[in-house]
Amino acid sequence: MLEVVKNFANPTPIQAATWPITLSGRDIVGIAETGSGKTLAFTIPGLVHIAAKLKRGKTSGKPTMLVVSPTRELAMQSAEQAEAAGKAVGVTSVCVYGGVDKQPQRKAFQRGVDIVVATPGRLIDLINEGSCDLTEVSFMVLDEADRMLDDGFENDIRAIMGYTPKDRQTLMFSATWPESVRKLASDFLNNPMRVTIGSPDLSASQNVQQIVQVIENPRDKERILVDLLKKVHKSRTNRVLVFCLYKKEAIRIERSLEYHGFKVVGIHGDKNQQQRTEALSCFKDGSYPLMVATDVAARGLDIPDVEFVINLTFPLTIEAYVHRIGRTGRGGKKGVAYTFFTPEDKAHSGELINVLKQAKMDVPDELMAFGTTVKKKTHSAYGAFYKDTGGEPKKATKIVFD
């Protein structure tokens, strides 16, 4: 089992802090920045859990471990690690996601699997048609829980958890600790231990140098991008990831960069799953070292040695910004993130300034000129008067009067 981590000098902080708790059988909430090694933080204890069950003679073929992920790419990545680690102990796994034929996924369940890594929509489809049985899941993981709740998967997650036994061990990993994640934790986890590495609030990786360039006219962005790529992608072999906001924009930029002679691939929602997987593997193996993507590639994806991230268009939230720049500077390495900021993005200036200051980065005067105001996030039920007391919601106690 330790073959998987033989190249690591030490466990990452989230792994070192959560492994003893998880291996003792406790439910856990792990909060850590993107790129901190959360996938192996739950994969290794999951395999120990399955190995112990196999020793006791469990042979029904129904899954023991379930990992729920927000995106197909993230599910595939977790499944790769589970498969690599599981080979050593004879553990089988299946990755379940939409956009591809259901039949191979059905067949995997018929043969019998130990680990299921899935996106919520396709998993519910397979449960409803009777192909997937979660009644023996005793180790469940919610990966990138905050992203899943942002994406509106809450009802699906609650439905999936309803199909699993009540006495399972549940792990929840998240990059942030908002109210929606707290609520889910209090409803489904049994007296969980909470481990926070760094701050429970949003913070950018210290390994990423952030450079913000204010551009007065948004139409100049493409020209400036090409000039920047000529500088940072001079060798045409180093990995560079360019983020756009919309699918149409990503398609246009991909074509434009092709026209300028760059070997470029793209990932966005208009591509089918096969095209997305192909593009990602071409980027990973370096045959196409430049990738243009929307926010489907912003979270969780562990692509080794991405030297530069370029935010061509600022994302809709500051959280997405932090996750985008987290695609570089992973695994302890250093990275650089360039961000183009236009007057259209003025609403995000205060939040961006805070992230830059927290990471001890230079704040350009042109960015300061947009103002440092941060709009307070209001609570869904209590509006602007909500005060976060930091604790878990207490369970109600029943009082009986004689």
Identify the pLDDT of residue 3: 72
Torsion of CA 134, 196, 394, 183, to 10 degrees: -50
Position 232 pLDDT exceeds 90: yes
Residues 6+ apart with CB under 8 A from 311: 243, 321, 324, 325, 337, 338, 339, 340
Is 358 found in the same domain as 213?
Answer: yes
Residue ending a domain, among 196, 219, 253, is 196
More confident of the two residues 135 and 35: 135
Q: Give the whole-angstrom CA distance, residue 146 versus residue 331.
A: 22
Is 218 found in the same domain as 120?
Answer: no
Pairing of strands 115-118, 93-96: parallel
Q: State pLDDT tens for residues 259-305.
A: 999 999 998 888 887 888 888 889 988 899 999 998 877 665 667 78
Average pLDDT, the chain: 85
Residues 6+ apart with CB under 8 A from 152: none
Is 286 found in the same domain as 219?
Answer: yes
Is 223 found in the same domain as 140?
Answer: no
Residue ending a domain, among 196, 228, 245, is 196
Residue 396 DSSP label:
P
Is 213 found in the same domain as 171?
Answer: no
Is 183 within a domain?
Answer: yes
Average pLDDT over residues 52-77: 83
Is 353 within a domain?
Answer: yes
Is 123 found in the same domain as 26?
Answer: yes
Identify the pLDDT of residue 371: 84
Count the alpha carbons within 13 Å of 326 in the hemisphere toward its beta carbon. 25
Q: State pLDDT tens for residues 21-42.
A: 999 999 999 988 766 778 889 9
Is 7 within a domain?
Answer: yes
Output the pTM of the full model: 0.69
Is 185 found in the same domain as 251?
Answer: no
Is 305 found in the same domain as 236?
Answer: yes
Residue ending a domain, among 196, 231, 254, is 196
Amino acid code (one letter) for 340? F
Cα distance from N-terminal residue to C-terminal residue, the chain? 59
Is 215 found in the same domain as 182?
Answer: no
As beta bridge partners, residue 30 has 173, 195
Position 146 pLDDT exceeds 90: no
Q: State pLDDT tens for residues 234-268.
A: 988 999 999 999 999 999 999 999 999 999 999 88
Residues 6+ apart with CB under 8 A from 106: 126, 131
Is 384 within a domain?
Answer: no
Q: Give the whole-angstrom CA distance, residue 349 versus residue 18.
A: 35
Angle (deg, nearest 10), helices 273-285 and 72-87:
60
Q: State pLDDT tens for residues 154-165.
A: 889 889 999 999
Is 161 within a domain?
Answer: yes
Is 387 within a domain?
Answer: no
Position 367 pLDDT exceeds 90: yes
Q: Give the whole-angstrom CA distance, residue 140 versus residue 66.
A: 5
Confidence of residue 90 (pLDDT cuts 50, 70, 90): confident
Residue 253's domain comprises 208-368
Position 382 pLDDT exceeds 60: no
**CATH code assigned at 130:** 3.40.50.300
- The number of distinct structural domains making up the chain is 2
Amino acid code (one letter) for 356? L
More confident of the two residues 56 and 210: 210
Identify the pLDDT of residue 340: 96
Position 141 pLDDT exceeds 70: yes
Is 395 within a domain?
Answer: no
Confidence of residue 383 (pLDDT cuts 50, 70, 90): very low
